[in-house]
Amino acid sequence: MRLFSKYCRLGVFLLMVSPVALAETDAVSPKEASVMQVENKAVIVDVRDDDEWNEHHIHGAIHIPLAQLNARLPELEAYKNSPIITQCLGGVRSAKAQTALKSAGFYKVYSMSGGIQAWDEDGLATE
């Protein structure tokens, strides 16, 4: 019983400090993200690197590589009280971006599950 309690506490701790675990509570699917963007209910922020963006990206998305996010926060100030969906290749960087934006005072931040890979798998358009 003591061993179980120890691992239980460790599991809770890891969930509390993991950006990915935190982001999953505010995740949207690619289809949900697409609908939110088309209906002007959210803006998508693509946090992939330049070469990934240049290969293909979601029309209308704002491109801010994760490494530049903190320095470029003023560019997103107009969306501070609006829904923002972070997106990357597979979901890891977008979860980190989501955490950074929430820490900077952005209120409605979602991470797109599966990133642009899932977007492509769902047959959604890119440019």
In a domain, 127, yes or no: no
Q: Write down the pTM of the prediction.
A: 0.80
Q: In the prediction, which pLDDT does 12 show?
A: 45
Q: How many domains does the chain have?
A: 1
The whole-number average pLDDT for the span 89-101 is: 96
SS3 51: helix
43-46 and 84-87 strand pairing: parallel
Domain of residue 33, CATH code: 3.40.250.10
- Residues of the chain with pLDDT > 90, as a percent, come to 80
Q: Which residue is associated with the tokens 């560019």?
A: 75
Query: With b meaning 16 or more CB within 10 Å and e meaning fewer, what string describes 26-53?
Result: bbbebeebbebbeeeebbbbbbbbeebb
4-22 pLDDT tens trace = 444 445 444 444 444 444 4
> Does the pLDDT of residue 109 top 70, yes or no?
yes
Its domain, for residue 111, covers 2-121
Q: Going by C-beta distance under 8 Å and a sequence separation of 6 or more, which residues neighbour residue 54?
A: none
